[in-house]
Amino acid sequence: MTPRDRLIVGLDLPTVAEAEAMIATLGDTVSFYKIGYQLAFAGGLELARDLVRDGVDIFLDMKLLDIDNTVANGVENIAKMGVSMLTLHAYPKAMRAAVTAAKGSDLCLLAVTVLTSMDETDLTEAGYEYDPHTLVLRRAEQAHLAGMGGIVCSAEEAAAVRKIVGPDMAVVTPGIRPAGADAGDQKRVMTPADAIRAGASHLVVARPIVKAPDPKAAAEAILAEMQAAL
């Protein structure tokens, strides 16, 4: 894969009009976009269908979690949209239901391990007995056993996750921040080059690009850094 195949730009914007303007600004520089809650609930699902028809790769970041039947039914319909990637929380029963529902499609199911905005204090408050690193690795192993297509984790855990899942599964890392960039609400971050060297297959970058004064230049700089790391 080229850096352009590996860079996923998060369309974390409030309206479809703003998302379409950002896509136009980035032009051919970017070919893979993430649509999450904010945009999905403002018409982003229809935008996703339109972009898929135009040959654009879409990562639908829905982080599904529900009873098995509900997860399976949702995954079946999402697979019909033609999107490339879909996230769900890495709970074993939900993952097994999703894998069965996606069978025969090209949908890559991604297991969200521990959010990059969470640290050990946050996990303790939520009732987990594991630190972030341990929980990420436990969930990566469960996702691998369930037959998931990839893992979502902090780039800090990418190298350890890669050892568990092998060379074929996707390792998708949000929380990417170029050197000197503001971390914002992210607590486990890494630069694009370091994430690639750690074993990430795809980098998710939102604010450092979509909030930049020159989004296209910001994307090009990140792509150049990724290329150097490769």
- The residues annotated with a catalytic role in the active site are 61, 63, 66
CB atoms within 10 A of CB 14: 11
Q: Is 182 annotated as a binding residue?
A: no
Q: Is 67 annotated as a binding residue?
A: yes
137, 147 contact by CB (below 8 A)? no
Q: Is 12 annotated as a binding residue?
A: yes
Q: Is 15 annotated as a binding residue?
A: no
173 alpha carbon, distance to own chain's centre: 6
62, 94 contact by CB (below 8 A)? no
108, 170 contact by CB (below 8 A)? yes
Q: Is 214 annotated as a binding residue?
A: no
8, 171 contact by CB (below 8 A)? no
Question: String of b and e for 205-218 (b: at least 16 CB within 10 Å)?
Answer: bbbbbbebeebbeb
Q: Is 68 annotated as a binding residue?
A: yes
Q: Which two tokens stand for residue 168?
A: 């074929």
Q: Is 196 annotated as a binding residue?
A: no
Q: Is 188 annotated as a binding residue?
A: no
Q: Is 177 annotated as a binding residue?
A: yes
Answer positive or negative: Cα dihedral of 212, 214, 220, 221. Answer: negative
Q: Is 62 annotated as a binding residue?
A: yes
> How many residues can be counted in the chain?
230
* Annotation: binding site for substrate: 12, 34, 61-70, 116, 177, 186, 206-207
* Annotation: binding site: 12, 34, 61-70, 116, 177, 186, 206-207
